Amino acid sequence: MWLLLALLQAAVLPARPCEAPAEAALAVRAFAARLLGLAMESGQDADPGIYVGLRLGNEHDLSMEQRYLQNLQDTFQGLYGRSLHAASHPSHGHQHRDTDSVPETGRLALYLLGLRATCPPPDPTTQRFPVTWLKYYLEKDWAGSRHHGHPLTSYYQYSLGVLALCVHHKRVREEVIQRLLVAEQHRRFRHVDGNAVDTEAVAALAFACLEKEKHIGARLAAELQAAVHRTKARLVEAQRADGLIGNAFSTPLAMQVFIATNTCRTAYGRAMAALLRHLDSFTSAATMAQAVLALNGRSYLSIASMQCQEELGTLTPIFLEPMPLGPHNVTVRLVVECPVLGCPQQLLYDSLVSAPAGASLLDLLRAAPPQGSKNFTFETQDTTYGPFLTSVQGMAARPKERHYWQLLSRLGTSLHMGVADYRPKDGNTVILRLSEW
Ligand code: B12
């Protein structure tokens, strides 16, 4: 009888206000199955952001998730399962991070969010050292921000760090929080494409989490609340006529802010409709894992109140075939610019490149002909967003100087995709420019 009533209710009531509409359920399920497929086939190490996406979906492949968690723990416990003291006095045979290395604030934060989303929860002692390491990295980032005017990693990773500590109910020093509040007030969150939405959203999630913490005083709570309000207003302002907030890839993070603050009204509904129309644009596991949360009406904050109930182990992976190429060729102009200090010359390469229609920019880089006596050379580094271009014509971008190889169109606009996802059309020009961010 109760079951019948529950089924009837599900059939009559609309989906919860912060979820995809019921008629999109199949599309959302297929999307989660594609993420599962990517997570299973990727030859890379397990990634904490992907694990969070898998855990916060409505359906699961529980044994795969278990294996994935094991891989994650092998990697992270090896690096952060020991005290900071042990890291500065290493013993033989132990893999470890030393205290001088670049902070891994973002990945460690996502790892801790993942552990908190695990059912049944893992042994709490496994979280002790990673939490201490995250606090240490956040302090390093904070000190870096006082010195350089920005965190050593990025405000995105800094926000993830604050958020993860908050979700674990760990205290964050007020000065560390204030740094983020000041950055929010002074609008310091721009990404290379001029889109600040991703970082603003993660910072607002951190503020929304902190605001609810018991140890936060009334004055700071009011400041945090005001920052969340301001961010929401800016997200609504950033909403385009087609409903996207920023671009397709920042929209799910913006939606998380509405979900976390229970304000799933007009802007959220329009964003959800737009996101559902753009699901095919998502090809990398990292961006898909972010989108799965929003599609299921969840946010990183949902992890704080997650209850372990029986979970549906009904998800089966979808593996997509690579896009067919050709039969015709496209010809694209490839330009390499090097306008920063230390470049041998401004223009490092300018040539037409031919490849089968549908080829990615990465395929084009591989097909680029020599110029003069010099071969075209480049290097990439694998990430869960896809291959990240690190070096072109022997010029490596130096992360410490905040240099990176930016991808632009002929009109100078920054592309919204990486080298493996962007597929230039016949007659296009693509510029690779060594830029500062
Ligand atoms: C910060 C950031 C950057 C910084 C990273 C440097 C740093 N030290 O933090 C810089 C400015 C270098 C950057 C560059 C680019 N970015 Co960016 N970036 C982000 C942002 C805001 C956060 C990434 C992060 O820290 N993740 C968390 C950490 C823990 O994960 P991680 O795997 O360690 O992240 C590292 C790499 O993945 C890499 N990375 C950053 N961006 C990109 C983009 C691509 C395509 C790849 C393969 C790798 C990569 O840098 C991260 C930090 O080390 C995301 C927003 C988001 N929604 O995820 C956009 C985002 C990932 N970037 C994006 C884009 C488009 C780019 C560029 C292609 C822009 C361009 N036209 O040049 C370039 C990459 C070009 C290249 N050389 O291959 C898109 C990707 C969309 C997609 N289809 O996958 C996002 C989602 C923003 C958006 N809403 O459009 N980015």
pLDDT tens-digit map of 217-270: 999 999 999 999 999 999 999 999 999 999 999 999 999 999 999 999 889 999
What pLDDT, in 10s, does the model give residues 275-296?
Answer: 999 999 999 999 999 999 999 9
Query: Scanning the structure block, which residue is given the tokens 């019921």?
Result: 22
pLDDT of residue 2: 43
Instruction: Write out residues with Cβ below 6 Å of ligand 1.
Output: 106-107, 110, 153-154, 156-157, 191-193, 195, 198-199, 246-247, 249-250, 253, 284, 286-287, 290, 383-389, 399, 404-407, 414-419, 421, 437
State the Cα–Cα distance between residues 257 and 276, nearest whole angstrom: 18
Residue 10 has pLDDT above 60, yes or no: no
pLDDT at 174 over 70: yes
Q: Could you tell me the distance, in angstroms and rounded to a whole number, from the CA of residue 362 to the centre of ligand 1?
A: 16
CA distance 294 to 288: 10
Go through the domains of the chain in sequence order and give each one's CATH number: 18-87+101-305 (1.50.10.20), 329-436 (2.170.130.30)
Pocket test for ligand 1, best of 200, 251, 388, 415 (most atoms within 8 A of CB): 388
Q: Cα dihedral angle (46, 204, 239, 384), rounded to 10 degrees?
A: -10
What is the residue whose two structure tokens read 């891994």? Answer: 104
Measure the CA–CA gap between 397 and 391, rounded to whole angstroms.
6
Q: What digits encode the pLDDT tens for the residues 149-167?
A: 889 999 999 999 999 999 9
Sequence-separated (6 or more) residues with CB below 8 Å from residue 297: 15, 16, 18, 19, 20, 259, 264
Closest by Cα among 194, 192, 132, 188 to 164:
132
* pLDDT computed for residue 95 by the predictor: 62
Contact 196, 162 (CB under 8 A): no
Identify the weakest region by mean pLDDT among 5-9, 13-17, 152-156, 393-397.
5-9
pLDDT value at residue 172: 94
Centre of ligand 1 from the C-alpha of residue 317, in Å: 26
Instruction: Please tell me which residue, 321 or 48, carries the higher pLDDT value.
Output: 48
Question: Amino acid identity, residue 167?
Answer: V
Residues with Cβ within 8 Å of 343's Cβ and at least 6 positions away in sequence, in order, are 395, 434
Q: Which tops the pLDDT comparison, 43 or 94?
A: 43
The answer to whether the CB of 80 falls within 8 A of the CB of 54 is: no
Does pLDDT of 365 surpass 50? yes
